[in-house]
A and B are shown apart, each in its own frame.
Chain A
Amino acid sequence: MLALAVEIPYWGQSLLRVVGGIAAVLLPAGTIVYLFLFKMMSFMQSRLGPMEAGPYGSMQLIAEVGKWLQKEDIAPEKADVHIFRMAPIIVLVSTFLLVAVVPFGPQAYFTNFEVGIFYALAVGSISVIGILIAGWASANKYSLLGGLRAAGQLIAYELPMVLAVVGVVIQAGTMNMQGIVVAQNTGEIFGWGGLGFPFIITQFVGFMIFMIAVQAELTQAPFDMPIAESELVSGYMTEYSGFRFLMFFIGEFATAGVFAFIASVLFLGGWGVPFAWFGWETLADVPGWMNVAGPVIMLTKMLLLTFLIMWVRFSYPRFREDQLQTFAWKFLIPLALANIVVTAIIKVAV
């Protein structure tokens, strides 16, 4: 994993990777929940939020986990119990599979797939299965409706997301996540390399489509029809209590963090700094200290992007179901296809 002088045996490497992966899932989730869900939302609503547990309520998360651990785990008598119990675990597993592809430094990556971003888009949709079977297995009308709505929404916004990424792949000329990072940081704007060439400049349309799709995939407001609390009482999560509910909750915010990681790799230059600053030419020139600086840079960009997601979430009212589908099919998908064609024409012409 890290470029150390000593050779680490394979099991050691794997253990390091798994520990790093657990940190990369839980750390962003905790940060997002405390910083944005507890504090930012409170300030936007002119209240203080949690203040009692620790300084400024910073220990609130630990208190919450302690509370959820002690809650009774109730399954409705008519539910399909095994599938009911399995569903939150599937959602959590999909988050872990997703984070495996995010690079955090020149050597600090978990996996280095040649088809990295394609893999991420593929495993990202596994959580749909978890949500759908959670809605079905609960044997509850609200849950069933919520699960169906979630499935309809997630497949509708899966497409704009996939198609928005194609623009980046065309520009980078590779699907490898490291390759995309290097392509942006070795790039030049009209011969000037001081900023590298983050793809957000030319792929701004793609970036906007990607972030809207992420918002919808995470079922955050204004795309929260599936978990609309005022009509469906949390939709597919209605019957969940105790720790299984918390696993849905962790999965949701951990996935928000991972998607923000992926967006920052695709559009904001990922872990890298512009290579021109230090006179690096290729990935091999990047020194080992970037393995430490890289995660910090990634975390900063992740917080920036999740701030955007949460800002929108706390500001806008909910879409109606027909508006939501119309927006995806009649606006985002044609726009994403046009973006692909224009990007490809410019790439071939220039």
Chain B
Amino acid sequence: MSLFLRDYLTVVWFGLAALVLAGLLLGVAAAVRPSRPTPQKVMAYESGVDPVGTGWSQSQVRYYVFALLFVIFDVEAIFIFPWAANVERYGTFGLIVMIAFIVLLLDGLVYAWKRGLLRWV
């Protein structure tokens, strides 16, 4: 197997190690801990007041604009990184193109800003 694939296999081992460790510790805990559930214990904790309605209550989600902006900039980052590692190779041409790219995307942020979407009301 190539060294490249082996490196990624190591990531799999690390993930498995975490799962095994968590399973082991939870297993030990399961062996020594008591389990005496009462109706009061398994009630949702809301500062001692009995919960009203469902826990999955509806509330205004203000984050969706931020989530959309996040996607824009995260995709931008994917394009910036390969260039960043080879700045010298692409030279002045690459620099101008990349600055144009960054300014275009910054434009999106400025637009959202001007529209008042970044305001928290």
What are some 27 contacts across the A-B interface (CB < 8 A)? A14-B13, A22-B17, A69-B33, A70-B32, A70-B33, A72-B33, A89-B22, A92-B21, A100-B10, A110-B14, A111-B8, A111-B10, A113-B7, A142-B46, A148-B63, A151-B63, A155-B63, A155-B67, A158-B74, A166-B80, A169-B84, A175-B85, A239-B45, A247-B22, A334-B106, A344-B98, A348-B95
Number of interface residues of B (CB under 8 A): 67
Residue in A closest to B38 when the chains form the complex, CB atoms: A74
Q: Does residue A314 face the partner (Cβ distance < 8 Å to B)?
A: no
Cβ B55 vs Cβ A78 within 8 A: yes
Q: Please, what's the 1-or-0 string for A119-157, where 1 marks a CB less than 8 Å from any CB in chain B?
A: 000000000000000001011111111001001100110
B-contacting residues, A179-210, CB 8 Å: none
Known: A111-B7, A158-B74, A233-B45. A118 touches B81 (CB 8 A): yes
CA of A88 to CA of B74 in the docked complex: distance in angstroms?
Answer: 26
CA of A49 to CA of B119 in the docked complex: distance in angstroms?
Answer: 42
- A contact residues around B63 at 8 Å (CB): 148, 151-152, 155
Cβ A97 vs Cβ B46 within 8 A: no
- A contact residues around B62 at 8 Å (CB): 152
Known: A175-B85, A341-B102. A74 touches B22 (CB 8 A): no
Cβ B21 vs Cβ A139 within 8 A: no
CA of A92 to CA of B85 in the docked complex: distance in angstroms?
Answer: 31
A173 contacts which of B33, B54, B85, B118 (Cβ < 8 Å)?
Answer: B85
Secondary structure of the A side of the interface? helix
Cβ B47 vs Cβ A233 within 8 A: yes
Cβ A329 vs Cβ B77 within 8 A: no
Q: Does residue A281 face the partner (Cβ distance < 8 Å to B)?
A: no
Q: Does residue B2 face the partner (Cβ distance < 8 Å to A)?
A: no
A330 contacts which of B28, B99, B118 (Cβ < 8 Å)?
Answer: B118
Binds B, one of A29-37, A268-276, A292-300, A319-327: A319-327
Q: Give chain B nearest CB distance to A211 CB in angstroms.
A: 19
Known: A78-B44, A159-B74. A337 touches B81 (CB 8 A): no
Residue in A closest to B93 when the chains form the complex, CB atoms: A348
- B contact residues around A311 at 8 Å (CB): none
A-contacting residues, B73-101, CB 8 Å: 73-74, 77, 80-81, 84-88, 91-92, 95, 98-99
